[in-house]
Amino acid sequence: MAVESRERPDRGQTPGQTPNETVDVRLDHVTKSFDDVVAVDDVSLEIPHGSFFALLGPSGCGKTTTLRMIGGFEEPTDGAIYLGEEPVTGRPPYKRDVNTVFQSYALFPHLSILENIAFGLRRRGVRGKEVRGRVLDILRLVGLEGLERRKPRQLSGGQQQRVALARALVNKPRVLLLDEPLGALDLKLRKQMQLELKAIQHDVGITFIHVTHDQEEAMTMADRIAVMNQGHVEQLGPPDELYERPASAFVAGFLGVSNLLSGVVEDPDGVRLADGTLVQAQVDGKRGPVAAGVRPEKITLGESGGQNRLPGTIAETAYIGVATQFVVDTPAGTVHVFAQNIDSGKRIPVPGSNVTLSWSPESTFVVERGEEMSE
Amino acid sequence: MTTAAETLARPARVGFASRAWRFVARHSLTVYALLAVAYLMLPIAIVILFSFNHPTGRFNYVWHKFTFDNWIHWNSVLGIQSALEKSLEIALLATFVATALGTLIALAIVRHRFVGRGATNVVVFLPMSTPEIVMGSSLLALFLNEQNTIQLGFWTIFIAHVMFIISFVVVTVKARLIGFDRHLEEAAMDLGANEWTTFQKVTLPLLAPAIIAAALLGFALSIDDFVITYLNAGPVQTFPIFVWGVARVAVPPQVNVVASAIFLVAIGLGLANVVWQYRAAKSTRGGT
């Protein structure tokens, strides 16, 4: 399959904006409790048609439960779910125009690959030669032609994963649900499948909802990500927006590495840090105790990085080839810096040396102080 | 030269002792296993052998003459055919009903949380652990009542057999269900199958090996049951009861014929099952 040409998906062109006007899935104040545990707490979402949507979060955040409610395997305790304009709350899975790729693949062990994929078609009354034709077409799409007579046990993990995908896609559902579909694959295969899945989604144009705990996977594949934590949606947006402007300390910490410096909002554009330094940032109307955040790669050793400055002492350095990581002790807290090794001759500061850190106000974000923060 | 001869001779002598020891060590397990198999098989072999005997008197204890007559005229003994038919009828019917009920009970116990689930789990095991004589007599006490509304006979035997077969079915099917991936059923429903189609196309085929094993076990238990059956049979004669009756006088060789036939059918089914499993394993695990 030619995926190389699609390695750069065309996301980012329309950041923050829906790819299409029609909404495929809508969750309206959905809550799900198991006994006294609230798994999903008042979640409202709109998933536009044709998007690759990721539900991202740590285990137990409610992302899989949310997916299972869309699929019809769990019923919400409260709230409503719509597929397009149709309310589907209370409908069994076989009356919903969605298909699921399960984490365990859930291929029928007693049926051949052909019959596994044909299962959905036969339930829809497709008969005769058309079944075989459509199965063979979809097998070609996922790159498994010639394996239709095998049993699932005879296939490798990666091949089983593709069969599970084909079995769902062949029904041309309105929405495809993927529950950690790549979790069981090794790293190399996972990377390859991420790009393939993205390419397939691009080809078929079906809305994909993808549950994952792997932020890199979500960023690679999805054009919109909902970060979930403890049953809530913390933030929803395109990957670059989540990374550049995280809305909470949790999102900042979950997607990549962040330096979060405790402080208090002082004027409309500034945060006074614990040591008295004033950091310029877009405060967006927040008040009181906050944290000013900056990504490690946005900080420059020296004064050329921008108006925000912080003195410090280098505590540790780690040379990793493409870049050097520094841990810098500053009066406002420990700061991680990620400097690309562009100039070969450049001398790398050794631990113990005093440096000035600088970065621009544009790359500074302000979040409410979260429980995750140690300071 | 001499030293070389000595060194050659010595290992040969040591070699004999150790070779003998190695021979014993290697073959003692085989001998033991063969003896154990012989111990188990000898009585059956004798039963089969004497089904071909042409006894001189009433007693079929002494080998006299080889004949096929007993096999050809197997039903010439009064009552043997109807007893065998009765046994087969009860075994087939009881196995069918008990397998169906037992499978559903296993599904309920494994899949659902309900009041009395724990109790059901225990009660279902009771017939397996209760001595047959206790179960037989308590059933008899249940069936015998003042109004005499229940006539001992075919149906009381049937009820008793269903009761103890159910336990074995539940245990066998439950074991298979516990390792059952629920996502398979969810996947079927996800692909458009309603509850019944899902059961038919996914649940049942995957449970089939356990259900078939349970049914075979149940059939075997039913057809040779004596204690419980005898206590609740009333006037009905099943094959074991018939044998017990004639044994008080003299066992005709036709009993050996029927016993041998049952044994051969059982062996045949067992072999067929092995071949089928082997084929199934080959077709799924083979290839590349």
Residue B26 lies in a domain: yes
Q: Cβ of B201: how many Cβ atoms within 10 Å?
A: 21
CB of A302 less than 8 A from some CB of B? no
Looking at residue A208, its amino acid is: F
Find the closest chain A residue to B209 by CA distance.
A110
B237, B137: one domain: yes
Average pLDDT of the residues in B216-238: 91
Position B277, amino acid: Q
Weakest-pLDDT range from A298-302, A346-350, B185-189: A346-350
Q: Do A71 and B190 touch (CB under 8 A)?
A: yes
User: b/e per residue, B175-188, with b = 16+ CB within 10 A?
Assistant: ebbeebeebbbbbb
Burial of B232 (0-12, 13-18, 19+ CB in 10 A): buried
Confidence class for position B230, pLDDT limits 50, 70, 90: very high
Provide the shortest C-alpha distance from residue A98 to chain B (in Å). Answer: 7
pLDDT digits (tens, 9 = 90+) for B43-65: 999 999 989 988 887 777 788 88
Nearest CA in chain B to A74: B186
| Per-residue pLDDT reduced to its tens digit, A89-128 | 999 999 999 999 999 999 999 999 999 999 999 999 998 8
Q: What are phi and psi of A18, to 5 degrees?
A: -75, 140
Q: Which residue has the tokens 């990374």?
A: A243
Q: Within a domain: residue B265?
A: yes
Q: Give me the pLDDT at residue A20, please.
A: 47
**DSSP code at position B200:** I
- Calculate mean pLDDT across residues B128-135: 90
Q: How far is CA B211 from CA A44, A352, B200, B208, in A?
A: 46, 74, 14, 5
State the residue range of the domain holding B262.
Answer: 76-287
Same domain, B41 and B138: no
Please tell me the total count of domains within chain B: 2
pLDDT at res. A159:
92
Task: State the count of interchain CB pairs (< 8 A) between A and B.
Answer: 71
What is the pLDDT confidence band of residue A6, given thresholds at 50, 70 and 90? very low
C-alpha to C-alpha distance for B235 and A216, rounded to whole angstroms: 78
Whether chain B has a CB inside 8 Å of the CB on A161: the answer is: no
Query: Which of A100, A123, A167 minimises the CB distance to B193?
Result: A123
In-domain check, residue B59:
no
How close does chain B come to A18, measured CA to CA in Å?
28
Name residue B233's amino acid: A
Backbone φ and ψ of B57, nearest 5°: -115, -145
* pTM for the structure as a whole: 0.77
Q: Which of A1-10, B171-180, B263-272 has the lowest mean pLDDT?
A: A1-10
Q: Chain B: which residues have CB within 8 Å of chain A?
A: 181, 183-184, 186-195, 197, 201-202, 205-206, 283-288
* Cross-strand partners of A300: A358
Residues A247 and A268: their CA atoms lie apart, in Å, by 17
Q: What is the pLDDT of residue B11?
A: 53
Tell me: do B221 and B88 sit in the same domain. yes
B96 is a domain residue: yes
Mean pLDDT, rounded, of chain B = 87
| Predicted confidence (pLDDT) at residue A261 exceeds the cutoff of 80 | yes
Average pLDDT estimate for B203-225: 91
- Per-residue confidence at B129, pLDDT binned at 50, 70, 90? confident
Pick B229 or A349 by higher pLDDT. Answer: B229
Residue A133 has pLDDT above 50, yes or no: yes
Residue B27 lies in a domain: yes
A268: Cβ contacts below 8 Å, ≥ 6 apart = A283
Q: How far is the C-alpha of A118 from the C-alpha of A108, rounded, in Å?
A: 11
A160 in B contact zone (CB under 8 Å): no
Confidence of residue A305 (pLDDT cuts 50, 70, 90): confident
**What pLDDT, on a 0 to 100 scale, did the predictor assign at position B283?**
64
Give A-chain residues touching B288 at CB under 8 angstroms: 154
**pLDDT (0 to 100) of residue A357:** 92
B103-128 mean pLDDT: 90
Give A170's contacts in chain B (Cβ within 8 Å).
none
Pick B206's closest partner by Cβ from A93, A99, A110. A110
Same domain membership, residue B136 and residue B83: yes
**Residue A175 pLDDT greater than 90, yes or no:** yes
Per-residue model confidence as pLDDT tens digits over A16-43: 444 446 899 999 999 999 988 899 999 9
Is residue B163 in a domain? Answer: yes
Residues in chain A with CB shorter than 8 Å from the CB of B191 are 94, 99, 119-120, 123, 167-168, 171
B69: in domain:
no
- In B, which residues are within 8 Å of A153 by CB distance? 284-285
User: Rounded mean pLDDT of A289-315?
Assistant: 90
Structure-derived torsion over alpha carbons of residues B112, B116, B117, B118, reported in degrees to the nearest 10: 150
pLDDT of residue A2: 40
Same domain for B236 and B160?
Answer: yes
pLDDT at A289: 87
Select from A232, A205, A186 the least CA-distant residue to A56: A232
Residue A129 contacts B, CB cutoff 8 Å: no
Query: Is the pLDDT assigned to residue B12 strictly greater than 60?
Result: no
Residues of A in contact with B184 (CB under 8 A): 106, 108-109
Work out the mean pLDDT of chain A and round it to a whole number. 87
Closest chain A residue to B208, measured at CA: A110
One domain for residues B122 and B12 = no
Positions of E strands within chain A: 23-34, 37-48, 52-56, 78-83, 86-87, 98-101, 175-179, 207-212, 224-229, 232-237, 259-267, 270-273, 278-280, 289-294, 300-301, 308-319, 323-330, 333-340, 354-359, 364-368
Residues B29 and B150 in one domain: no
Integer Cα distance of B249 and B244 in angstroms: 10
Nearest residue of A to residue B283, measured between CA atoms:
A151
Quick one: pLDDT at residue A16?
Answer: 42
Contact check, Cβ <8 Å, A94/B189: yes
Closest chain A residue to B186, measured at CA: A73
DSSP per residue over A188-242, as a string? Answer: HHHHHHHHHHHHHHHHH--EEEEEES-HHHHHHH-SEEEEEETTEEEEEE-HHHH
Token pair, residue B234, equals 């009333």
Query: Which residues in A lie closer than 8 A to residue B186 (C-beta atoms)?
Result: 71, 73, 93, 100, 102, 106
Please state, for a pLDDT cut of 70, what percent of chain A lies above it: 93
Taking residue A139's Cβ as centre, other Cβ atoms within 10 Å add up to 21
Same domain, B41 and B88: no
Domain containing residue B99: CATH number: 1.10.3720.10
Q: Check whether residue B138 and residue B268 sit in a common domain.
A: yes
Is A124 in CB contact (< 8 Å) with chain B?
A: yes
Tokens of B125: 């095991």
pLDDT given for residue B73 in this prediction:
85
The reply to whether A69 touches chain B by the CB within 8 Å rule is no
What's the CA gap between A149 and A118, in Å, rounded? Answer: 12
Residues of A in contact with B187 (CB under 8 A): 100, 102, 106-108, 167
Residues B85 and B37 in one domain: no
**What pLDDT is stored for residue A12 in this prediction?**
40
State the pLDDT confidence band at B13, using cuts at 50, 70 and 90. low
From chain B, the residues in CB contact with A150 under 8 A are 287
- A90 with A42: CB under 8 angstroms? no
Give which of B113, B189, B191 to mutate to test A binding, by max A Cβ within 10 Å: B191
| Residues B280, B139 share a domain | yes
User: Which chain A residues touch B194 with a CB distance below 8 Å?
Assistant: 92, 94
Position B288 scores a pLDDT of 37
Chain A residue at shortest CA distance from B185? A106
pLDDT of residue B209: 87
Share above pLDDT 90 across residues of chain A, in percent, rounded to a whole number: 56
CA distance A208 to A212: 13
Over pLDDT 90: what percentage of chain B? 47
B178 with B235, same domain: the answer is: yes
Q: Alpha-carbon torsion A180, A183, A189, A190, what sign?
A: positive
| Cross-chain CB nearest to B181 (options A104, A119, A154) | A104
Give me the domains of chain A, ranges plus CATH numbers. Answer: 23-97+173-244 (3.40.50.300), 257-373 (2.40.50.140)
B241 domain residue, yes or no: yes
Contacts B183 to A, Cβ<8 Å: 102, 104, 106
